[in-house]
Structure 1
């Protein structure tokens, strides 16, 4: 599963720098998470770091992007392989 930032985001800027995959960016009105890059921190941390630091608890599992732990791990491996080539 990818994570999603709700419109209750206050743009406090704490989630973006803790994302190891650079999946979080400032959208038109509030921060957004790119589901193609979000691995819920699998491969990096035990818990999603954006959820850990969010002061308004506006980050949830995105029901539109359901992925298993294995799929997230595979995405992580793919992203790391891509990064090492670049």
Structure 2
């Protein structure tokens, strides 16, 4: 499953630089699939291909947030999600709305970081 940041977040920002996929964004920040990845295009929720450089609206205006489709729980990089490791208030937790297998997370990691 992906990780999400609860409303207990104190906005310290410790998690953001730890993410190997650049899946964590500051509150109010736009996000892009291409941020921190090698993606040039990606299929959107309608199945249409879009440029990975297109900006997307923030997922939160209040707290830091994690883009579920970019989160791999650090599988293929670390033994455990690094955002959770460094969070001083334990607000980076499993997202029950995005349950995924280790195989899917590894495949996502490979997709996000494929050799250009």
TM over 0.5: yes
How far 1:77 sits from its partner (Å)? Answer: 0.7
TM-score (norm 2): 0.69
Name the counterpart of 2:6: 6
TM-score of the superposed pair, with normalisation by structure 1: 0.93
Tell me how many residue pairs correspond in the alignment. Answer: 83
Query: CA–CA distance in 2 between the matches of 1:40 and 1:24?
Result: 12
Query: Which of the two has higher C-alpha Rg?
Result: 2
CA RMSD across the alignment? 0.8
Q: Does 1:63 align with 2:63?
A: no
The runs of at least 4 consecutive aligned structure 1 residues that moved more than 2 Å come to none
Map 1:1-80 onto structure 2 (within 5 A): 1-27=1-27, 28-80=61-113
